[in-house]
A = this chain, B = another copy of it.
Amino acid sequence: MVDALRASATIITAISNGCDRIVPTGEANEAAAIKKISEGNVLLCGEMAAKKVSGFDLGNSPLEYTQDIVEERIIIFSTTNGTVAIKTLAPAEDVLIGTFINAEAVAKKAISLERDVVMVGAGTKGKFSTDDMMAIGCIIDRMLKIDDEIELDDMGRVALKLYHDANHDILGALEGSTHFEYLRQLKLYDDLEYCTREDMFDVVPVYQEGVIIKG
């Protein structure tokens, strides 16, 4: 599952910084309801319209999820696109969370499964989102570096072309795309820069039995 701007990056960062597990939820009120019946070490996190939900501990900026804040905590996490997409994947055998920042790691893990891989872009409000497609292209690029005999479908080939055409200037290549411009308008420059770095983390979060943990 890829939600390049920004849920994948937030999840990877939180898991890398030692959070115990993440519970992906639907809309913010669902997250708040789960928080009410939970006890202890829980952080209520997420966004609506890309902004931190009122009363929540953290929003959806990966930069907020530092070790001192998230280590050993349980995160209840609600986002508009990413967590919704993750929950729909519950029937799948293995659900890996990936994006630019862990592309090589998630590619390696996906190949090691020795099965067909379906790349799911979270999209933006149910629509195709260029940022996800380019991150998927980045992961495919890394998979091909491990095994150049992987077969792609048409959408996979287009994703790979988008990534290659960007020539590592992901930020530049995303100019004009809908969700990127929305976040830029909110002046989330640091998030955009962070979310489009390649291969920063060796961590692959996995979703199983309702929670996201370190794979």
Write the residues of chain A forming the contact surface with B, with a CB cutoff of 8 angstroms: 124, 127-130, 133, 153-155, 157-158, 161-162, 165, 176-179
Q: 8 tightest A-B contacts by CB?
A: A128-B155, A130-B154, A154-B177, A154-B178, A128-B154, A129-B154, A130-B158, A127-B153
User: What's the minimum C-beta distance from A155 to chain B, rounded to whole angstroms?
Assistant: 4
| Chain B residues within an 8 Å CB radius of A128 | 153-155, 158
- What are 16 A-B contacts with C-beta separation under 8 Å? A127-B153, A127-B155, A128-B155, A128-B158, A129-B154, A130-B154, A130-B157, A130-B158, A133-B154, A133-B158, A154-B179, A157-B176, A157-B177, A158-B158, A161-B162, A161-B165
Task: Pick the contact of A162: B127, B130, B158, B179 (CB < 8 A).
Answer: B158
How far, in Å, is A168 (CB) from chain B's closest CB? 18
Closest Cβ–Cβ distance, residue A21 to chain B (whole Å):
32
Residue of B nearest to A130 (CB): B154
Please give, as numbers and ranges, the residues of chain B lying within 8 Å of A162 by CB-CB distance: 158, 161
Interchain CA distance A145-B178 in the complex, whole Å: 22
Please name the residue on chain B nearest to A179 by beta carbon.
B154
A157 to B173, CA, bound (A): 12
Q: Which residue of B lies closest to A127 (CB)?
A: B153
Give, as a whole number of angstroms, the nearest-CB distance from A154 to chain B: 4
Closest Cβ of chain B to A163, distance in Å, is 12
Nearest CB on B from A118, distance (A): 12
9 additional contacts, CB 8 Å, given A130-B157, A158-B162?
Answer: A124-B154, A127-B153, A127-B155, A128-B158, A129-B154, A153-B178, A154-B177, A154-B179, A158-B158
